[in-house]
Amino acid sequence: MSTTPTSTDRTKPAKRLTPPDIAAHKGQTPLVCLTAYSAPMARLLDGHVDVLLVGDSLGMVVYGADSTLAVRLDTMIDHGRAVAGASRHACVVVDLPFASYQESPQQAFRNAARVLAETGAAAVKLEGGSEMAETIAFLAARGVPVMGHVGLTPQAVNALGGFRARGRDAAEADKVLADARAVSDAGAFALVIEGTLEDVAREATRAVTIPTIGIGAAADCDGQILVTEDLLGLSGPRVPRFVKRYADLGSAVEEAAARYATEVRSRAFPGPDQLYRKRSG
């Protein structure tokens, strides 16, 4: 049974979900996960989700970069602190950005420890499969909860040759499955499977003992995640195939900005209700 509060009880104190709570969702009610990069968004989403991911996708969504590769650790910490501080219920997970953990398990621990200490988040997420198993085990043994990430791994976009779905041939499918098992066996508490053919993601979900969280993967995963700006229509005209838009707030923002501009230019704004005036008498 889901532990996420309904819209009618969001004012009640909520127990903060932990990595063990998330791990216990394997085969249960699907986990609801969304990205958040700011305190206002975290407050709006917190009562409806199980996991808030402060993803390095903020490099593209917030800063307009072409990939996640330029995101710095300090940037992740700043945004992670905002999201963790503004939420009360969701398990907050922060991405370790490119080049902050690949060098060695020791480097990964130093930077993961900074993230947890300076943000108040519960866990970190890192990309990679078999090659990162030693690092995941090193972190988990030292009290750092780790969410894994296999399939399409955006930090490896140059090595992968672009943002294309994984598992299209037998070799790719076998690698996704091997990576999923390696991450699970190493001690991760959950696993994101991104941009992977449905049957491969389904098989990976069955092959591991930890919850899988799909994004462009399979409905059979133990949970789903999307970039919040994508589902709200705030990320531009083109979105990935796996995104479903639940609102078109982009058009609403443009319309509001256009009305504001018109009223400022016509001097209709500010009006009497927006001005401070000396009281009569």
Provide the residue type at 196 as one letter: T
CA angle 231, 55, 67 (to 5 degrees): 90
Q: How far apart are CA 35 and CA 230, in angstroms?
A: 10
Residue pair 182/148 in contact by the 8 Å Cβ criterion: no
Q: Which one of 194, 198, 229, 255 is the catalytic residue?
A: 194
**Residue 194 annotated among the catalytic residues of the structure:** yes
Q: How far apart are CA 53 and CA 50, in angstroms?
A: 10
Q: What are phi and psi of 103, to 5 degrees?
A: -65, -45
Q: How far apart are CA 89 and CA 2, in angstroms?
A: 13
What is the rounded end-to-end Cα distance, in angstroms, of the chain?
A: 63
Count of all residues that appear for the chain in the document: 281
Q: How deeply is 188 buried, as exposed, middle or buried, from its count of CB atoms within 10 A (0-12, 13-18, 19+)?
A: buried
Active site residues: 194
